[in-house]
Structure formats: structure tokens, C-alpha cells
Amino acid sequence: MVQQKNNEHWLKRMAREEDNCVLSVGGLPQAVENARSAIPISTRVAFARLVQLYRRDHGMTIEDLARKADVDIVDIVNIERSVDVNHEPRTIYNLAELFKLATGTLMQLAGLAQPRDQAFAEQAVRFAARSAPVEKLTPQEHRDLEEYVKYLAKL
């Protein structure tokens, strides 16, 4: 009983200290965010490309993939567009099952777990770079690029 009372006292004290802030009692959301921000963006980009290329390789629309993986369409759209959101572990688990990949590996790639080694991040960068489409710029895109580079050069 003493342990529970001490925990209750600690929780109330932490809640008071975080007055007018996001109530997290102990800073758990901040700790999670700090861990997440340490994960290289390249792994999340590689995750987005993996999902997109898998879907296209299997001739699926975004709706098809969402249905087969039993996840929301908006989740697939956010993943493929590399929208910086905290993906639900369930979403990653279902995609791992569909792709026949280890859940832990896909969790690392999605940014929900720290990569175990530097080689994982390096391979993710290589994959993201190699899988990016290579398309010629349209004349308008070329003009826009030149104009923007000129502007940047003046700064």
C-alpha cells in the first residue's frame, strides 16, 4: 500500500509541475519524440518508397493496399508521401505481414524503433536514392529551377 501511495504522490506532483503544458506525467511523450527525432529521415523516406514500389509492383491502388493490409487509406497516403506522422504500430505490423517482412525491421524503417546498426541506415539511404524516379524536367520546371537557383545565388 505504501508503494501505491508513493506512486500516487509522485504522479500528482508531476502533474502539478507540468501545469499549462501537455500533461505527460514524467515526460514520456517528450522521451518518445526525442527518440523518434534521432531516427534518420532517410529510413522513413526508404519506408515510403518501399511501400509505394511494393504497391505498384503488385498492381495495386492505394485503396487496394489499404484493404489488403486492413489499414486506413489515409495511413497509406501519409506513408507514401513521407508525411511526418507517428504511424500506428498496428499499421506497420499489418504491412509487414503483407510484405512478408519481419515486423521489427519494418518498425525500424518506419521510424518507430531505433535502427540497430549504421549499415541499416546506410542501406536505407541507398535504396531511397536508387529508387527515386529519374525523369527529365519539363521546360517549365527547368525555368523555375534556374530562376530559384539564381535567387539563391544572390543571397
What is the SS3 assignment for 81? Answer: coil
For the chain, the structural domain boundaries read 2-35, 40-131
pTM for this one? Answer: 0.66
Calculate mean pLDDT across residues 6-22: 61
Least confident interval from 30-44, 85-99, 104-118, 120-134? 30-44
CB 131 within 8 A of CB 53: yes
Torsion (CA) 103, 109, 114, 118 in degrees, nearest 10 = 120
Per-residue pLDDT reduced to its tens digit, 79-118: 999 877 788 999 999 999 999 999 999 999 998 888 888 8
What is the SS3 assignment for 25? Answer: coil
Please check the confidence at residue 32 and state whether its pLDDT lies above 70: no
Which residue in 6, 104, 92, 8 sits closest to 50, CA to CA?
A: 92
* CATH architecture for the domain at 40-131: Orthogonal Bundle (1.10)
What stretch of H or E contains 54? helix 41-57
